[in-house]
Amino acid sequence: MSKTHVVEKWVDEAAALTKPSKVIWADGSKQEYDRLVEEMLRDGTLLEMNQKTYPGCYLHRSHPQDVARTEQLTFICTRDPEDAGPSNNWMAPAEAKAKAGAYFKHSMKDRRMWVIPYLMGPAGSAASRTGVMVTDSAYVVASMHIMTRVGQVAIDHMRAADDFIAGLHGMGDLSPERRLILHFPEEKLIWSVGSGYGGNALLGKKCHALRIGSYQARQEGWMAEHMFILGVEDPEGRITYFGGAMPSASGKTNLAMVVSKLPGYRAWTLGDDIAWIYVDAEGQLRAINPERGFFGVAPNTSAATNPNGIQMVRSNTIFTNVATTPAKEPWWEGIGTEAPAGTLDWQGRPWAPGGAPAAHPNSRFTTPGSQCPSIAPNWEDPQGVPISGFIFGSRRTNVIPMVFESFGWQHGVFLGAAMSTETTAAITGQVGVVRRDPMAMIPFCGYNMGSYFAHWLAMGPRLANPPKIFRVNWFRRDAEGRFLWPGYGENARILKWMVDRIHGRGKAVETPLGFIPTADALDLSGLDIDRRRVERALAWDRDEWLDALGDLSAFFGPFGRRLPGQIRQELELMVYRLKTGR
């Protein structure tokens, strides 16, 4: 493999610090993947699943204290703390390196170090970027094979000898006491030690494509977003593309590969987690998916909630922390069938219903994108796809209507900045508490979020045709705690309304929040639902909103002068509209 001298020098430095017994350059080949799997089966890192019914599928059981992203141990290490901003943890670069350096020092003494050159984005795309990470985990190497494009293709994409993000990853001793996920955006550098969990250890994903990516995107005038990319084909055969931001484990993967229950409409998947978005020569926003696979949450994935998801994990998939049946098939809560007797839980212990979940609530599958039945034929188009709509979705039991549309770009950016959600198991910590999560980027924005809002605002005027911005919430419940809207495949009805709005159709009423569809503007044909439930899902309450906007003002406070005036202005306008009804 050809390498640049800057890559080689950096790898030498990493090896000098960690002292591996051997350095292996990953080439991304199938033979390499097969060899890694074989080795991991031998040393117990992977367990074989039923090769008749799940060919090429394996199970990994992680350390029980290493099962989710650890945001409290994740830092942005800029020279000036203000550049990280109040929503990030900050550590001075020298202090961060001293601390993590002690954990890394000689940590690979009896271990091998793999060097993984990886490409984020399709080969041949000007929007794609290279990373070079090192790791002492074979599980990470195999997972990077699935999630990124590994090998010479990455090196070939470098525009200069130093055009790569460097990532140093080590398992350390897996103790949360000695775990740190560190980002040095000013040095194009990531250090991650003490965790093998996907979001902490597959450095191409959250660390590179979002945290460092968002920093670079602002400098270079593009956008790195926590968004799926989805095409909606209508009965005329036209495909309208959306980017959609949703907090972790809030149905983002399900929507990205939704099977429409509305005749004539079909959804095409281009990505389920991250979008890199740029302005083309015509002033059109275009998006590529920097990833090559899906790292999805297993629980509640079923033939009813995500039939494409169920099909795509039937082969060549690495499962992490799911339960297993005596037939060596994966099982998780919400898979749609009862667990047979003799099922083992995610730690390999005998399991019986009634106690703790069998699968870890954040158990995952890692699977190649090409295996998704709804994958769009153009998902690896180097030019990306034109984006006509953005969807901001979150999980709220009340307050946020099921769907509404912003008055325009600036108001839409404000709605993104105002996002709040109920927390899930994708992060270590309490589940179900409401937290602010602007654009679903609170854990992933690699710089001051006030400046991030300013960057979003500045993109608008550069666009010939700014995408319409929609806010959605499938999670409204009635007084008995039941969901008001069936969701999943029925969400195609909401997508249809958005497509209609984009193309100048679709009825809506103007409210202080934005444009809300009338219940008869949604195509409910063939759906057995009480119209009053739909009306309740679309309802909003003035006092609830005034309260929520008070909280929002408190959240914005610490951003001080970094918060753009337009965001404050939109907040004031919204309060005014709510108070006056205008």
Tell me how far apart the alpha carbons of residues 441 and 210 are, in angstroms, rounded to a whole number.
8
User: Which of 205, 189, 200, 257 has its CA nearest to residue 228?
Assistant: 257
Answer whether 116's CB lies under 8 Å from 23's CB.
no
Amino acid, res. 424? T
Of 37 and 426, nearer to ligand OXD (C-beta) is: 426
Tell me how far apart the alpha carbons of residues 414 and 205 are, in angstroms, rounded to a whole number.
26
Tokens of 159: 């525009």
Query: Least distance to ligand OXD from the beta carbon of 351, Å?
Result: 25
Tell me the H-state helices in 232-381. 252-256, 307-312
**Near ligand OXD by CB under 6 A: residue from 10, 114, 295, 545:** 295
**Near ligand OXD by CB under 6 A: residue from 18, 78, 130, 248:** 248
Query: Least distance to Mn ion from the beta carbon of 190, Å?
Result: 17
Query: Least distance to ligand OXD from the beta carbon of 345, Å?
Result: 22
Query: Least distance to ligand OXD from the beta carbon of 71, Å?
Result: 10
Of 84 and 298, nearer to ligand OXD (C-beta) is: 298
User: Which of 465, 308, 440 has its CA nearest to residue 372?
Assistant: 308
Answer whether 259's CB lies under 8 Å from 230's CB.
no
Task: Compute the C-alpha angle 498/504/507, nearest 5°.
Answer: 65
Query: Least distance to ligand OXD from the beta carbon of 253, Å?
Result: 8
Q: Which residue is nearest to ligand OXD (CB)?
A: 248
Partner that binds at residue 244, options ligand OXD, Mn ion, none, CB closer than 5 to 8 Å by kind? none
Query: Least distance to ligand OXD from the beta carbon of 296, Å?
Result: 8
Strand ranges inside 30-148, DSSP E: 47-48, 58-60, 74-76, 112-120, 129-135
Q: Which residue is nearest to Mn ion (CB)?
A: 273
Of 432 and 565, nearer to ligand OXD (C-beta) is: 432
Of 426 and 563, nearer to ligand OXD (C-beta) is: 426
Partner that binds at residue 199, options ligand OXD, Mn ion, none, CB closer than 5 to 8 Å by kind? ligand OXD
Q: Does 273 bind ligand OXD (CB under 6 A)?
A: yes
Of 201 and 417, nearer to ligand OXD (C-beta) is: 201
Query: Least distance to ligand OXD from the beta carbon of 395, Å?
Result: 13
Of 10 and 197, nearer to Mn ion (C-beta) is: 197
Of 36 and 255, nearer to Mn ion (C-beta) is: 255
Q: Does 319 bind ligand OXD (CB under 6 A)?
A: no
The pair phi, psi for residue 119, each rounded to 5°, is: -110, 130
* Separation in Å, CA 441 to CA 82, 394, 433, 452, 531: 18, 12, 17, 10, 34
Binding residues (CB under 5 A) for Mn ion: these are 248, 273
Q: Does 66 bind ligand OXD (CB under 6 A)?
A: no
- Per-residue DSSP letter, 91: -
Helix axes 449-459, 565-580, angle to 10 degrees: 80
Tell me how far apart the alpha carbons of residues 495 and 184 are, in angstroms, rounded to a whole number.
39
Of 172 and 198, nearer to ligand OXD (C-beta) is: 198
Partner that binds at residue 210, options ligand OXD, Mn ion, none, CB closer than 5 to 8 Å by kind? none
Query: Least distance to ligand OXD from the beta carbon of 307, Å?
Result: 21
420-479 residues near ligand OXD, rule: CB under 6 A = 426
Tell me how far apart the alpha carbons of residues 154 and 397 are, in angstroms, rounded to a whole number.
44
Strand ranges inside 310-462, DSSP E: 318-320, 323-324, 330-331, 364-368, 385-386, 389-393, 403-405, 420-422, 434-436
Partner that binds at residue 295, options Mn ion, ligand OXD, none, CB closer than 5 to 8 Å by kind? ligand OXD
Query: Least distance to ligand OXD from the beta carbon of 431, Å?
Result: 13
**Near ligand OXD by CB under 6 A: residue from 69, 169, 208, 496:** 69
Which strand (E) or helix (H) includes residue 162?
none
The pair phi, psi for residue 48, each rounded to 5°, is: -75, 135
Binding site residues, ligand OXD, CB under 6 A: 69, 199, 248, 273, 295, 426
